[in-house]
Amino acid sequence: MVEVRKICCIGAGYVGGPTCSVIAQMCPEVTVTVVDVNEDRIRAWNSDSLPIFEPGLQEVVDSCRGVNLFFSTDIDEAIKNADLVFISVNTPTKTFGIGKGRAADLKYIEACARRIADVSIGCKIVVEKSTVPVRAAESIRRIFNANTKSSFNFQVLSNPEFLAEGTAVTDLKNPDRVLIGGDETPEGQHAIEALRSIYEHWVPKSKIITTNTWSSELSKLAANAFLAQRISSINSISALCEVTGADVEEVAHAIGTDQRIGSCFLKASVGFGGSCFQKDVLNLVYLCEVLNLPEVARYWQQVIEINDYQRKRFSSRIISCLFNTVTDKKIALLGFAFKKNTGDTRESSSIYISRYLLEEGACLHIYDPKVKAQQIMHDLTQPTPSERHDPATVSRLVTIVTDPYKACENAHAIVICTEWDMFTELDYEKIYKAMLKPAFIFDGRRILDSLHDQLQHIGFQVETIGKRVNQRIHFTAIEDKSEIDQQQPLKKIKL
């Protein structure tokens, strides 16, 4: 069995950075070097302001950086010296060509494989850490076989990550499982054991699962597809709740107590986001289509369509409640990250909701405690496979603020898109006084449930996901009772 003393990780992003930082902390005798072509990113990893926000990550990095954890742009040297190389580069969805909008773009994986083959000597274990389509390891092997020097021996393993952003450090230190896939040959099994020995420094043996390479790759896609499916399932029920008078939180609790179902990922919201769920489900759809499984492809495609529907439905509700127009109206959008406790905005529902409102001419004032202004503007102007977004229009209609109270000042409505804890602690009485009336709150994350009575007492019109909130109508004192009798009742708006 190869003894792993030096590890190189290609890619210093959301996967490579935290994963290798924890490995370095847990394996003090192993030297870990994280490399990237992005000099600014590496500079940030070597500073007191890390390029990504994760609770507890700064403490982990500080404990071993410069000791056995290093961040560098010298990729070739790190590969040469390593016994084991993680490939943790981005695998985005293709934006053009065959499979556009669904298939994974493996150009960065291929570039890494060619670079490893070009500079390596001796024995190397190469590990897929990025989320890749099934049989991607075979592509890496073919590149190695076609370019291998006589002095280079290799084994390719699959070791997908199962991190949840916002709890990445906790997930790494206390994983539900670690999955390692490799060849069923003696050499492949030796490589599996070498990687297993790294994780066994802190992970119980019973939680380390070994499979063949293909099972490992498919397990990652299937896991994310199942999680996304649960979110779309409860979101579909939330639409039904809003028209029947049921409360999706109560429904979720009732079905979640069934041990066969469980309560995880039954939180209705404006839709799932992040770097993996949509990308992996679409990848699974494309894989099924290519393998002539159209019924299976259509099944998983519906998970994405429900997610899109939920975002559009929420946006339409905002427009409908604001008297069917948001043109030139100031709307405070609180939260831009795809979930709390992270600065990651990839596929965030906030992006889609913002775009829908911008198309209607709304003036958005956006606040997020961890997402930088440049990132927000980049996300809103980035072209998609189906459309382009005019940077001049976005610049004119979007204002990024650093104070949530400033965002809400003179606004017609507040839209909560990320479940940051701080949004439950704001002084809503102060906010209400500074807003235009009627003042609306649209809670896309169900974080204000316990405050509904208080918010209505203040004067807010409250709208939320998966529940019809009975609005309290406040009347000012009128001496002539006939004036009250002549007032028209509020019309129900059909969504």
Q: Is 223 annotated as a binding residue?
A: yes
Q: Is 273 annotated as a binding residue?
A: yes
Please give the order of strands across the beta sheet that includes 6-10: 69-72, 31-35, 6-10, 84-87, 122-128, 152-158, 178-182, 208-212
Q: Is 283 annotated as a binding residue?
A: no
Q: Is 130 annotated as a binding residue?
A: yes
Q: Is 346 annotated as a binding residue?
A: yes
Q: Is 11 annotated as a binding residue?
A: yes
Q: Is 92 annotated as a binding residue?
A: yes
Q: Is 36 annotated as a binding residue?
A: yes
Q: Is 31 annotated as a binding residue?
A: no
Q: Is 16 annotated as a binding residue?
A: yes
Q: Is 228 annotated as a binding residue?
A: no
Q: Is 164 annotated as a binding residue?
A: yes
CA distance 460 to 449: 13
Q: Is 55 annotated as a binding residue?
A: no
CA distance 102 to 374: 27
Provide the β-strand partners of residue 461.
Answer: 440
Q: Is 279 annotated as a binding residue?
A: yes
Instruction: HSE, CB side, 13 Å, CA atoms: give it for residue 107.
Output: 5
Q: Is 68 annotated as a binding residue?
A: no
Q: Which of 20, 241, 276, 288 is catalytic?
A: 276
Q: Is 163 annotated as a binding residue?
A: yes
Q: Is 410 annotated as a binding residue?
A: no
CA distance 452 to 448: 6
Q: Is 65 annotated as a binding residue?
A: no
Q: Is 456 annotated as a binding residue?
A: no
Which residues does 238 contact at the CB level (< 8 Å), separation at least 6? 248, 268, 310, 465, 466
Taking phi first (over 0 means left), then psi (-120 to 50 degrees means alpha), and beta for anything else, what does residue 91 get? beta
Q: Is 91 annotated as a binding residue?
A: yes
| Structure-block tokens of residue 101 | 């909008």
Residues in the chain: 495
| Structure-block tokens of residue 48 | 């007191």
Q: Is 278 annotated as a binding residue?
A: yes
Nearest to 380 by CA among 360, 398, 406, 362: 398
Q: Is 268 annotated as a binding residue?
A: yes
For residue 276, indicate whether it is catalytic. yes
Q: Is 221 annotated as a binding residue?
A: yes
Q: Is 162 annotated as a binding residue?
A: yes
Nearest to 23 by CA among 83, 102, 80, 77: 83
Provide the β-strand partners of residue 122.
Answer: 152
| Structure-block tokens of residue 63 | 């404990």
| Structure-block tokens of residue 303 | 């998970």
Signed CA dihedral, 367, 369, 373, 377: sign only:
negative
Q: Is 262 annotated as a binding residue?
A: no
Provide the β-strand partners of residue 416.
Answer: 334, 443
**Residue set of the binding site for substrate:** 161-165, 220-224, 260, 267-273, 338-339, 445
**Residue set of the binding site:** 11-16, 36, 41, 89-93, 130-131, 161-165, 220-224, 260, 267-273, 276-279, 338-339, 346, 445
Q: Which residues are catalytic?
A: 276
**Residue set of the binding site for NAD(+):** 11-16, 36, 41, 89-93, 130-131, 165, 276-279, 346
